[in-house]
Amino acid sequence: MNDNGKLLNYINGEWRRSAASEYLDVVNPATSEVLGQVPLSSGAEVAEAAEAAARAFVSWRRTPAPERIQYLFKLKNLLEEHFEELSRTITMECGKTLAESRGEMRRAIENVEVACGIPMLMQGDVLEDVASGIDEFMIRQPVGVCAAICPFNFPGMIPFWFLPYALACGNTYIVKPSEKVPLTMQKVFHLLEQTGLPKGVVNLVHGAKEAVDMILDHPTIRAISFVGSTPVAKYIYSRGAAAGKRVQSQGGAKNPIVVLPDADMEMTTRITADSAFGCAGQRCLAASVAVTVGEARHTFTEAMAAAAAGRVVGYGLDEQVQMGPVISKPSQQRIEGLIQQGVEEGATLLVDGRRPAISGYENGNFVRPTILRNVNPAGEIAKTEIFGPVLSLIHLDSIDEAIQFVNSGQYGNMACLFTNSGAAARQFRYEAEAGNIGINIGVAAPMAFFPFSGWKDSFFGTLHGQSKHAVEFFTQTKVIVERWPKQWSRQF
Ligand code: NAD
């Protein structure tokens, strides 16, 4: 599975040493310990994977759906058996706490469970007598070779928004994990190998831009699922579409939450702190701006300051730790720079988490929870994705103004409202321009049987990951119109 710490690719059912000339260190963000080395595979290696997947597709698509899902049942059991090991790997390479990593793996497994329903989910439609004696069917057939390009922040879960559905629908697959966190997928592929899937059905290629560009351009790859930052999401969407592929491309976010004066403040602040500071703010559904309306301001501000200051920060493998480091030194520097920019735009630092001393982990990339108050709603910091444990506070006078603010941003991944009022909740879910809405929820993450929606610059495409959307994305419809004149049956 690895060669002196150098990760291998998994192509055509075998672990292969990459021909890459360049390897990157995989670094534990809490300790700076080097965990392994990831190859920046060449385009030629992606092409080998695509060709192996294309050969495997010929018989995989002919494997009956009830047989295909048997491999997923095996995978589900193996993931359960290796649950702790996978969760620890996520914490070691990505930095989040063990509880957060376990939550992530649970979400991954739920997608395998949903995809096991493919014999029902993949069914088509039939209507007899669309005209007299003529019947029409719509069936779903797999698309072919598909690929996922993944971000660093959920190394265990995000590939599972796509892979189980793709396989269950009869496609063959290539995963390109983030080069920052390749170890979790390396372990998952070891488990996929143990399921006995035919060679070439699943392939793992490590790498970065060169590998991605070959995924975008290789004519054999028919569909691409991307999750990452918005500039790269746009690039993937346009270059993939130009090559004639289906593309679903999820981008960045800047998620607002709105707190009305009638909200349950204890619950609201607890949930908001988890949303803003959980996973060190490196969640595409992290609350990044909190808008208080009317009298909500004072109690909410005080309670959030206490929640931020009291959060236990450290190495995620220590069970009592509530927040881990951010992914890298450049990321830490970028977050600290954005905090400074907020101050320069006129905000005040209610809680300053820059350059903390975390005893025993002096080499880690830590930023403690930070709160900026009186942030200018029209300023840059209210709009820019920080992707760190930083919450901006804004105060407005009415729910209408708050919704106007929510809708003014470039992103539309999530928006949440905290209130006791059903009428306010209805107005918010009706008018807010975001694909995932939380009402008295801090992280409105859809379960596997709902699509992971995203709007505006948080998503490019039509069909999202997970659920029936994934089944539609990984199948192409074929419509058959049939006439069988009755008189022909008299021949027999
Ligand atoms: P990223 O865009 O830097 O990288 C994502 C993937 O794209 C990686 O596999 C990387 O190798 C590849 N890549 C990076 N630059 C590239 C380039 N120039 N050309 C081709 N490929 C390239 O994202 P990240 O830093 O790994 O992840 C964090 C981002 O992902 C945040 O913006 C976050 O909001 C977003 N995200 C979104 C969702 C969602 O559901 N919308 C979920 C998770 C993360």
Residue 30 alpha carbon to ligand 1 centre in Å: 21
pLDDT tens per residue, range 331-348? 999 999 999 999 999 999
Q: Classify 53 as helix, strand or coil.
A: helix
Chain position carrying tokens 């009402």:
439
pLDDT band of residue 491 (cuts 50, 70, 90) is low
Q: For residue 373, which amino acid is it?
A: R
What distance lies between CA 402 and its chain's CA centroid? 27
* 208, 114: one domain: yes
> What one-character-per-residue DSSP string does 111-167 give?
HHHHHTTHHHHT--EEEEEEETTEEEEEEEEE-SEEEEE--SS-TTTGGGGTHHHHH
274 dihedral zone (left: phi>0; alpha: psi -120 to 50; beta)? alpha
Query: From CA 430, how far away is CA 437, in angstroms rounded?
Result: 10
Query: From CA 205, how far away is CA 297, in angstroms rounded?
Result: 49
CATH code of 216's domain: 3.40.605.10
pLDDT of residue 409: 96
Q: For residue 42, is pLDDT > 80?
A: yes
pLDDT tens per residue, range 148-183? 999 999 999 999 999 999 999 999 999 999 999 999
Tell me the percentage of the chain whose pLDDT exceeds 70.
99
pLDDT of residue 305: 97
Q: Is-contact 336 367, C-beta < 8 A?
A: yes
* 432, 462: one domain: no
Chain position carrying tokens 């419809």:
477
Annotated catalytic residue, options 116, 146, 150, 284: 284
Residue 485 lies in a domain: no
- Tokens describing residue 180: 């920052």
Q: For residue 1, is pLDDT > 70?
A: no
On whether the pTM is more than 0.75, the answer is yes
Residue 387 lies in a domain: yes
pLDDT band of residue 72 (cuts 50, 70, 90) is very high
- Tokens describing residue 79: 């993931």
* 188, 267: one domain: no
Let me know if 151 is exposed, middle or buried by CB neighbors in 10 A (0-12, 13-18, 19+): buried
Q: Is-contact 342 375, C-beta < 8 A?
A: yes
Residue 164 lies in a domain: yes
Closest CA to 458 of 168, 180, 228: 228
* 263, 277: one domain: yes
pLDDT band of residue 2 (cuts 50, 70, 90) is low
pLDDT band of residue 488 (cuts 50, 70, 90) is confident
- The pLDDT mean for the chain works out to 97
Residue 448 lies in a domain: no
Closest CA to 30 of 242, 249, 318: 318
Q: Find the length of the chain.
A: 492
Residue 126 lies in a domain: yes
CATH code of 272's domain: 3.40.309.10
The pick from 184, 284, 338 for probing ligand 1's pocket by mutation, whose C-beta has the most ligand atoms within 8 angstroms, reads 284
pLDDT of residue 486: 87
Query: From CA 355, how far away is CA 313, in angstroms rounded?
Result: 12
Residue 447 lies in a domain: no
pLDDT of residue 4: 80
pLDDT of residue 155: 98
* 42, 149: one domain: yes
- Report the pLDDT averaged over residues 107-126: 98
- Tokens describing residue 11: 């192509």
Between vectors from CA 409 to CA 403 and to CA 413, what angle results, nearest 5°? 85
Pick the residue whose CA is nearest to atom 11 on ligand 1: 208
Q: For residue 140, is pLDDT > 90?
A: yes
* 432, 465: one domain: no
Tell me the percentage of the chain whose pLDDT exceeds 90.
98
Pick the residue whose CA is nearest to atom 30 on ligand 1: 228
Q: What is the dihedral of CA 449, 451, 452, 456, to 10 degrees?
A: -170
- Report the pLDDT averaged over residues 383-403: 98
The pick from 205, 206, 227 for probing ligand 1's pocket by mutation, whose C-beta has the most ligand atoms within 8 angstroms, reads 227
* 340, 269: one domain: yes
How many helices (H) does the chain have, and how many strands (E)?
Answer: 15, 24
Q: In the annotation, is 150 catalytic?
A: no
Residue 150 alpha carbon to ligand 1 centre in Å: 7
Q: For residue 52, is pLDDT > 70?
A: yes
pLDDT of residue 229: 98
Phi, psi angles (nearest 5°) of residue 371: -130, 125
- Report the pLDDT averaged over residues 16-42: 98
* 354, 474: one domain: no
Pocket of ligand 1 (CB under 6 A): 149-154, 176, 178-179, 208-209, 212, 227-229, 232, 235, 250-253, 284, 385, 387, 413, 452, 454, 458
DSSP code at position 323: B
Q: For residue 381, is pLDDT > 60?
A: yes
Q: For residue 312, which amino acid is it?
A: V
Between vectors from CA 185 to CA 162 and to CA 319, what angle results, nearest 5°? 110
pLDDT of residue 382: 97
Residue 473 lies in a domain: yes
pLDDT band of residue 487 (cuts 50, 70, 90) is confident
Atom of ligand 1 nearest to the CA of 180: 26
Query: From CA 346, how far away is CA 374, in angstroms rounded?
Result: 8
Residue 228 alpha carbon to ligand 1 centre in Å: 2
* 328, 204: one domain: no
Residue 228 lies in a domain: yes
* 245, 260: one domain: no
pLDDT band of residue 295 (cuts 50, 70, 90) is very high
* 263, 216: one domain: no
Query: From CA 257, how far away is CA 134, in angstroms rounded?
Result: 54
Closest CA to 102 of 279, 270, 227: 279
- Tokens describing residue 291: 């808008």
* 186, 322: one domain: no
Between vectors from CA 176 to CA 231 and to CA 204, what angle results, nearest 5°? 175
pLDDT of residue 492: 62
- Report the pLDDT averaged over residues 376-394: 96
Query: From CA 397, how far away is CA 383, in angstroms rounded?
Result: 20
Which domain covers residue 425, as residue numbers?
255-439
pLDDT of residue 174: 99
Residue 159 alpha carbon to ligand 1 centre in Å: 13
pLDDT tens per residue, range 412-465? 999 999 999 999 999 999 999 999 999 999 999 999 999 999 999 999 999 999
pLDDT band of residue 3 (cuts 50, 70, 90) is confident
- Report the pLDDT averaged over residues 214-239: 98
pLDDT band of residue 489 (cuts 50, 70, 90) is confident
Q: Could you give the number of structural domains in the chain?
A: 2
